[in-house]
Amino acid sequence: MDTSDLTPCRPQDFGKFEMTHRDGCARLGKLHTKHGILRTPTLLPVVNPNILTVKPRRMLEDFGYQALITNSYVIWKHDDLRKRAMEEGVHSLLDFPGVIMTDSGTFQSYVYGDVEVKVDEIVRFQREIGVDIGTMLDVFGRPDMSREEISSAVQLTADRAEDSLREAGGEILLNGPIQGGLHEDLRAQSANMMSNTTHLGRGFSVHPIGGIVPLMESQRYSDLFTIILASSSELPSSRPMHIFGCGHPMLFPMCIALGADLFDSAAYALFAKDGRILSEEGTHRIDTLVEWPTHSRQISNLTPNDVREMEKSDRTALLAKHNLEVTQRELARCREAVRNGSIWVLAERRSHSSPYLRAAFEKVSESMKLEDSSPISSRINTIVMATNPVRPSSEPFSSDIYNRPHIRHARLLMEQRWRMPGSWSDGSSGPPKEIAILQGGNPPWRISHGQVVQNILSLEPRTIIFVDTPMGLLPYSLEDLSPWCRVEGGEDIEFMKSEEKTILRSLKKIGLQGINVSYYGPSNTDYEKNQRIRSWIERCSLVDKLSILCGVDPLDGCVLTEGTDTRHSNTGRPVNVFKDGKHLFSPRLNDGGISLALEGAKALHSLRSKHVGKSKKSQSQRNNTDHPGVPSVTLHSDAVPFVGAGRNVMHGFIEHADSWLTVGQPCIVMDLEGNFVAHGTSNSTSEEMAVLKKGVAVRIREGILEKK
């Protein structure tokens, strides 16, 4: 592993969490500690100082684990361990130079009954032995407890929070566990109370979700995911979310997709002791295995029978190392899925590993349709709206495709912001006379249906054309926009056709009913392109993309694009749009999205200023419309010269961010007076910009000072 990650963080960064990559609420991050940067998502193996199945240093050097978790109550209770920890520190005790988190004894109280240590005493002990991330003594809420008992546990945990923070001081980071049993409202209440508790301005650094081990032991994964959703609905994005006691690889993708950053578990050792090995698809007993259902470096040169014949201590150590390796492999796969925007697809695949996991996944998918004010609905909405709706990667087709968060986001934006053309290809205006539905054929639809489209518009210019895609209806002006044009599923999807009632329902949803609808198949014959129709389609495409992806009013888009010139690629695709010799926009070939040039961003800023003015109050009022204008980020005055010169906008230097910011899509950057400073793409939501203090918030494309 990179040993630079073990270097103590800068004092000013202590306890800060930054996000480096994201896919919706799934994220890669860095938590800054005194023993280095902890990169997330990751798992902390549970280490019992009395039983070292795998030595902690080997976990770091052989398997790349940057952090581990041990139990401060166990160390406190055993005199010899306590004495060594107080004299040498916990890092020396465990011979581990990385990040050490400690639990407080809460889980022991669940397993064995009451613990003997006091609330302030256990936090003080964790501070004195030099842990990096301690844990307060919360009250474990069992699933079988009554609502009154759970409510009492939530309140008692919250009552202990400030005293625990006081005892931790500024020397260690502290976990603020979330309790609440199976009750969504109590989970949200607990998260709200714990995340808002501070002492001298300092709050908790990490929020573990507690009381869930009994659920995982009985494979109640639906309850597990419901608890994660409810708890995270009230947690700030500036703090990692830790799933206490969760360590099975097959659960990682879904948990990470829902926003989990940290995991911990002793399963690697406990399962090994019981003759079980972990895989990405489940757990396997070695008793009857003839061949390995999974692989690792540890077992590659051995047969199951070889392992069965080992001494138990050797077998346990070997299987524990295998389990650690498999765990790291799945976490690496999850991190890469976040980087390339496929974490939800990975969660879909893993959901087929177990009928209980599949049922839980389907329940979460059904929750996508909720439109109430519950904590679950609130968190689902956050997950959907935190996605980048446009991405260049392919979209594997399955029955789950409609509930992928980024696809729901894309469809919502299209349904909310798309409008029919203000004028037609022959220059006329007025309501449409026909609706044409293109069916069959593969994208690019401009090739498979190009002649058909030209014939339709030549015969009746006042026709609105849609493509019947596997993801629903798509205006033809957006035929190259991902994800609609990137669905992959073999020959079957080429011939998929929506039922007429589904099509009519979709048209009604966007205000098109009572108009004659006709259906057309593809045509592969050569044809002579009509330049007038081609130019009209390209302009409609530009207006629609500005409307859907940037929030620009279609009427403003029509004015802005009037009299523009377009440069095309060698294949005839529009790549640059100019007006009066100035470069405004660049339609992207890889995903069908749109990039702003400096002059285009300035033009959108001018339109915005005309409509909403420069005050924050008027900006908020504008948010109630379907087309609020290009979203903006307002800078702290200290950052203006740097951002204006082309530097990225960093968290901690933002005064205001519009609530309709879309991750991965264009935004403009302004100073406190509302003047244009730069433009770029948003890395974060407005809520994240309000609470994060480190990392890149907006990736700047151009600043107004760069060319001066």
Q: Is the pLDDT of residue 616 over 60?
A: no
- DSSP, collapsed to helix, strand or coil, labels residue 270 as helix
- Closest by CA to 581, choosing from 603, 568, 599, 607, is 599
Region(s) of the chain under CATH 2.30.130.10: 597-703
pLDDT band with cut points at 50, 70 and 90 for residue 621: very low
CA angle in degrees (0–180, nearest 5) for 402-403-407: 70
- Closest by CA to 64, choosing from 32, 46, 38, 90, is 38
Q: Is the pLDDT of residue 369 over 70?
A: yes
Q: What is the pLDDT of residues 69-100, one digit of tens each?
A: 999 999 999 999 999 999 999 999 999 999 99
pLDDT band with cut points at 50, 70 and 90 for residue 371: confident
Q: Hey, which residues are catalytic here? A: 103
Q: Is the pLDDT of residue 447 over 80?
A: yes
Burial class (CB in 10 A: 0-12, 13-18, 19+), 80: exposed
- Closest by CA to 210, choosing from 150, 283, 270, is 150
Q: Mean pLDDT, to the nearest integer, of 547-557?
A: 97
412 sits in which H/E element? helix 405-417
Q: What is the pLDDT of residues 121-166, one digit of tens each?
A: 999 999 999 999 999 999 999 999 999 999 999 999 999 999 999 9
Q: Mean pLDDT, to the nearest integer, of 324-346?
A: 98
Q: Is the pLDDT of residue 373 over 60?
A: yes
CATH code, residues 3-265: 3.20.20.105
Q: Is the pLDDT of residue 175 over 90?
A: yes
Q: Is the pLDDT of residue 618 over 90?
A: no
DSSP per-residue string spanning 506-537: HHHHTT--SSEEEEE----S-----HHHHHHH
Q: Is the pLDDT of residue 269 over 80?
A: yes
Residue 125 CA to residue 86 CA, distance in Å, equals: 8
CATH code, residues 597-703: 2.30.130.10
Region(s) of the chain under CATH 3.20.20.105: 3-265
Q: What is the pLDDT of residues 469-520, one digit of tens each?
A: 999 999 999 999 999 999 988 776 766 889 999 999 999 999 999 999 999 9
Q: Is the pLDDT higher at 203 or at 624?
A: 203
Q: According to the model, what pLDDT value does residue 2 have?
A: 59
pLDDT > 90 fraction of the chain, expressed in percent and rounded:
89
Q: According to the model, what pLDDT value does residue 207 have?
A: 99
Q: According to the model, what pLDDT value does residue 458 have?
A: 95
Q: Is the pLDDT of residue 411 over 90?
A: yes
Q: Mean pLDDT, to the nearest integer, of 97-109?
A: 85
Q: According to the model, what pLDDT value does residue 114 have?
A: 63
Question: Please, are residues 157 and 175 in contact by the beta-carbon 8 Å criterion?
Answer: no
Q: Is the pLDDT of residue 624 over 50?
A: no
Q: Is the pLDDT of residue 359 over 60?
A: yes
Both tokens of residue 678?
Answer: 């730069």
Q: According to the model, what pLDDT value does residue 108 have?
A: 64
Q: Is the pLDDT higher at 706 or at 672?
A: 672
DSSP per-residue string spanning 432-459: -SEEEEE-SSPSPHHHHSHHHHHHHHHH
Q: Is the pLDDT of residue 14 over 60?
A: yes
Query: Would you say the C-alpha torsion 348, 350, 352, 354 has a positive or negative sign?
Result: negative
Q: Is the pLDDT of residue 413 over 70?
A: yes
Q: According to the model, what pLDDT value does residue 245 have?
A: 95
Q: Is the pLDDT of residue 441 over 90?
A: no
Output the CA–CA distances (angstroms, integers) from residue 47 to 69, 101, 444, in the order listed: 6, 10, 55
